[in-house]
Amino acid sequence: MNRIDNHLPTAQLQAIDAAHHLHPFTDAAELNRLGTRVITSADGVYLTDSDGVRILDGMAGLWCVNIGYGRAELAEAARRQMAQLPYYNTFFQTAHPPAIELAARLAQLTPGDLNRVFFAGSGSEANDTNLRFVRHYWASQGKPDKTIVISRRNAYHGSTLAAVSLGGMAAMHGQGGLPIPDIEHINQPYWYREGGEMDPAEFGLARARELEEAIDRLGEDKVAAFIGEPIQGAGGVIIPPETYWPEIQRICDEREILLIADEVICGFGRTGAWFGSETFAIRPDIMTIAKGLSSGYMPIGASVISEKIATQFEADAGEFFHGYTYSGHPVACAVALENLRILEEEAIVDTVAERTAPYLKRRWLELGDHPLVGEARIAGMVGAVELVAEKACRRPFAADEGAVGLICRNYSFANGLVMRHVGDKMIICPPLVISQAEIDELVALALKTLDQTHAHLRAEGMMVARQAAE
Ligand SMILES: *Cc1c(COP(=O)(O)O)cnc(C)c1O
């Protein structure tokens, strides 16, 4: 592979970055003090930074590089498509082969009668589409009052105005007067922190039944849809108890509301099946996809809508006044198609299900024995450990939420492993192509990181749990 190694020295890149580049989800003053880490190339599961340091990417970029870095076939697919037709829109009675083929391919891959695809540039945009779509769908069916979408606290559905409103992140809602009207949030199925005295099965049912209670409280004639991630990713890899999704599905079947599965992380093999909906037996009316759709090589997202709903919509809705310049971008579609070809022809999802995910699970769960870890959990290729001061009590640290997680993340980075911290949870989501030897390396680095963090906390007197009353 040709590498671009003629970049400026790291300190100069950092100075220019600080002067001109505003980063997402970043405290700019703090970043500029610390200096940004500049990533210059990547191959397989490894990143290389501007000083030539190699780092194992335990997060697949931002939960997206499912087939790993450095696949020249995707570069070639992009080059070919750019040469042939770099752009054309799909608005005015026009289409092009990549969008047509990708829509058909997605109809084939997604479960049930999810057969119609509305393209977007990202997961956030696709969820904006979903909000517009479900509201206009119900209006077109003579039910314009069905406008409310029910979501969960601590959900992540993206960062545009609609997507962030659908999400349940209190910190995000705190900036700019969000959520927008007619979005309701119920509690999440997060047993470790919120399960109290209930066992996980009982707790899963209780949290699912909050949906039924919310529908009764708001009125079924006012509720358009429920949206949920099969596994909450950005919220901290919250894997719901087994009882949760069957109960949600029962409620959605009994009530006249649409079920939206946000598969932006869970889709394309992450949970050991093509979609999280298959892993958890969810039958969504609409699926949000992005990230793994192109393995992050090009920005693309989509809403995949059931045949039944789309057919009614087509019959009654008239023109849907909605779309993006880059809906079905030909280069993004060509790259996504090539990504899906590789996932399928190299049997990557099967390998995950049969070999690497069971191995990662066994190795990752060993971390549960560490004195700093209250719980290790994993589903397919996405996992978390809960850092705690007292293993037995499931209470957070006395220190501010996230302080310990940040210390741990800094050790991890210094050790050459990307793990992310969400509060005091450490999470991983490696490329699906990670090998057994690379899994051993990941777990060894994670263990070293936990040991260093533990020693640090003891030295600083931070191994202290918050008092129960707080
Ligand atoms: C990342 C993410 C999104 C938003 O996708 P973007 O491409 O960042 O807009 C939406 N939903 C979930 C579950 C995600 O993880």
Q: Locate tokens 């969008």: which residue?
A: 99
pLDDT band at 4 (very low <50, low <70, confident <90, very high): low
**Shortest-distance atom of ligand 1 to CA 299:** 7
Instruction: Compute, in angstroms, the gap from residue 467 CA to the centroid of ligand 1.
Output: 35
What is the chain's length?
A: 470
Ligand 1 pocket check for 157: Cβ under 6 Å: yes
Q: Is the CB of 265 under 6 A from ligand 1?
A: yes
Which residue in this structure is represented by tokens 């529908």? 215
The average confidence (pLDDT) of the chain is 97
Gap from CA of 302 to ligand 1 centroid (Å): 11
Distance (Å) from CA 458 to ligand 1 centroid: 37
Residue 3 confidence (pLDDT): 57
Q: Does ligand 1 come within 6 angstroms of the Cβ of 156?
A: yes
Q: What is the pLDDT of residues 213-270, one digit of tens each?
A: 999 999 999 999 999 999 999 999 999 999 999 999 999 999 999 999 999 999 999 9
Q: How far is the CA of 155 from the centre of ligand 1 (A)?
A: 10
CA dihedral 141, 142, 144, 148 (to 10 degrees): -50
Of all protein residues, the one whose alpha carbon is nearest to atom 6 of ligand 1 is 123
Say which residues have a Cβ less than 8 Å from residue 106's Cβ, sequence separation at least 6. Answer: 117, 289, 302, 304
Q: How far is the CA of 116 from the centre of ligand 1 (A)?
A: 20
pLDDT exceeds cutoff 60 at 286: yes
Pocket of ligand 1 contains residue 154 by CB under 6 Å = no
Range 73-345 has CATH code 3.40.640.10: yes
Mutate to test the pocket of ligand 1, among 156, 160, 188, 231 (most ligand atoms within 8 A of CB): 156
φ and ψ of 259, to 5 deg: -110, 120
Residue 129: the pLDDT is 98
Q: Look at the alpha carbons of 285, 283, 60, 396 in this order and tell me if their dihedral is positive or negative.
A: positive
Contacts for 132 with CB less than 8 Å, ≥ 6 apart: 162, 320, 322
25, 63, 122, best to mutate for ligand 1 pocket (most atoms within 8 Å of CB) = 122
At residue 368 the predicted structure's pLDDT band, cuts being 50, 70 and 90, is very high
CB of 124 closer than 6 angstroms to any ligand 1 atom: yes
Q: How far is the CA of 148 from the centre of ligand 1 (A)?
A: 21
Cβ(309) to ligand 1 under 6 A? no
In this structure, are residues 429 and 63 in contact, taking their beta carbons and an 8 Å threshold? yes
Confidence of residue 469 (pLDDT cuts 50, 70, 90): low
Predicted pLDDT at 1: 44
Separation of CA 127 and ligand 1 centre (Å): 9
CATH of domain 37-67+348-459: 3.90.1150.10
Ligand 1 atom closest to Cα of 233?
A: 15
292 vs 74: CA distance, rounded Å: 13
Q: Are 126 and 303 in contact (CB under 8 A)?
A: yes
Mean pLDDT over residues 373-379, rounded?
98
Q: Ligand 1 in contact with 364 (CB < 6 A)?
A: no
Tokens of 166: 């659908």
Cβ atoms within 10 Å of 368's Cβ, excluding its own: 14
CB-CB neighbours of 136 under 10 Å: 19
φ and ψ at residue 466, rounded to 5 degrees? -65, 145
From the CA of 291, give the closest atom in ligand 1.
7
Q: What percent of the chain has pLDDT over 90?
A: 97
Alpha-carbon distance of 244 to 246, in angstroms, equals 6
Nearest atom within ligand 1 for CA of residue 121: 7
The rounded Å distance from CA 123 to ligand 1 centre is 4
Q: Which atom of ligand 1 is nearest to the CA of 265?
A: 15
Please choose from 124, 237, 266, 289 the residue to mutate so as to test ligand 1's pocket, defined by most ligand atoms within 8 A of CB: 124
For position 240, what pLDDT does the model report? Answer: 98
Domain ranges for the chain: 37-67+348-459, 73-345
pLDDT in tens, 311-357: 999 999 999 999 999 999 999 999 999 999 999 999 999 999 999 99
Is residue 140 over pLDDT 80?
Answer: yes
Question: pLDDT (tens digit, 9 = 90+) per residue, 75-123?
Answer: 999 999 999 999 999 999 999 999 999 999 999 999 999 999 999 999 9
| Structure confidence at residue 190 as a pLDDT band (50, 70, 90) | very high
Atom of ligand 1 nearest to the CA of 163: 10
Please state, for a pLDDT cut of 70, what percent of the chain lies above it. 99
> Measured in angstroms, how far is the CA atom of residue 126 from the centroid of ligand 1?
9
User: Which of 172, 291, 326 is the pocket-test mutation for ligand 1 (most atoms within 8 Å of CB)?
Assistant: 291
Full 3-state SS string of the chain: CCCCCCCCCHHHHHHHHHHHCCCCCCCHHHHHHHCCCCEEEEEECEEEECCCCEEEECCHHHHCCCCCECCHHHHHHHHHHHHHCCCCCCCCCCCCHHHHHHHHHHHHHCCCCEEEEEEECCHHHHHHHHHHHHHHHHHHCCCCCCCEEEEECCCCCCCCHHHHHHCCCHHHHCCCCCCCCCEEEECCCCHHHHCCCCCHHHHHHHHHHHHHHHHHHHCHHHEEEEEECCCECCCCCECCCCCHHHHHHHHHHHCCCEEEEECCCCCCCCCCCCCHHHHCCCCCCEEEECHHHCCCCCCCEEEEEEHHHHHHHHHHCCCCCCCCCCCCCHHHHHHHHHHHHHHHHCCHHHHHHHHHHHHHHHHHHHHHHCCCEEEEEEECCEEEEEECCCCCCCCCECCCCCHHHHHHHHHHHHCCEECEEECCEEEECCCCCCCHHHHHHHHHHHHHHHHHHHHHHHHCCCCCECCCCC
Cβ–ligand 1 distance for 158 under 6 Å, the answer yes
